[in-house]
Amino acid sequence: MQEHVVIVGGSSGMGRALAEELVAQGSEVTVAGRSPDKLDAVRRELGVQTVAMDIGVEEDIERLFATTGKVNHIVTTAADVGGAYQPISEYDVNAARSAVDSKLFGPLLLAKHGASMLEPGGSIVFTSGIAAYRPGPRASLLAALNGALASLAAALAVELAPIRVNVVSPGWVDTTIWQDVAGDAAAATLAAMAARLPAGRIGRTQDIAAAIIALLRNGFITGTVLHADGGHRLV
């Protein structure tokens, strides 16, 4: 039977790179996300199925799995974290709620509604990030959310066994988000980090896709965080 993978957040960035590689390997892929324009583009260009939904809305997640039926793997790379970057002395919790929904409650709800839809040997992969291990100023909530995903995956790996639940933790990856974070200084910021990293370069979306696929394919890995960060935790 053809492998079927659901990717929430798969219409751009790391999720799209994953969808592209899985399609190239012959997998059936369903991409879910909020942007109709991006979903239309990925459907045309990769030939995947798409579902418009918001990972922070439980009814949308129920509708997603009603659409897909049984699947082999569930991956989320979705993150709406713009409001999470704030100095703690001025923190506006309401502005950051979308980050909590997309990074923590969303993955939890994917497991709630998706676990029963997984075929034998299936797995779930969450996406955290280097902020959990090398936090910077104004990123306290993002560090907490990324760190929480490791604990969530470990707990779910026990509760949902033999379904496997893992996390991939990217380092700095060259995506369009850096234009929002650093503006005109994005290229210089990335170059400075590349010079520090043991790997000698910034990550590419394909690097993270490869890491996720490694977790999908290895049936003896569960409750684990796979760090794809170029050695960032070491420097």
Which residue do the tokens 């690097």 mark?
A: 207
Pick the CATH number of 4-176+204-226 from 3.40.50.720, 3.30.70.100, 3.60.150.10, 3.90.1580.10: 3.40.50.720
| Sheet with 71-76, edge to edge strand ranges | 49-52, 28-33, 4-8, 71-76, 118-127, 164-170, 225-228
> Cα separation of 142 and 130, whole Å?
10
Would you say 8 and 32 are in contact if contact means Cβ atoms under 8 Å apart? yes
**Domain extent listing, the chain:** 4-176+204-226
| CB burial string 183-220: b at 16+ within 10 A, e below | eeebeebbeebbeebeeeebbebebbbebbbebbeeee
Model pLDDT for residues 97-151, shown as the tens digit of each residue: 999 999 999 999 999 999 999 999 999 999 999 999 999 899 999 999 999 999 9
Nearest alpha-carbon partner for 114 in 79, 78, 140, 76: 76
Integer angstrom CA distances of residue 157 from 37, 118, 123, 196: 35, 14, 9, 34
- List strand residue ranges (DSSP E) for 129-183, in order: 164-170
Structure tokens at 159: 């509760």
Model pLDDT for residues 37-72, shown as the tens digit of each residue: 999 999 999 999 999 999 999 999 999 999 999 999
Its pTM stands at 0.96
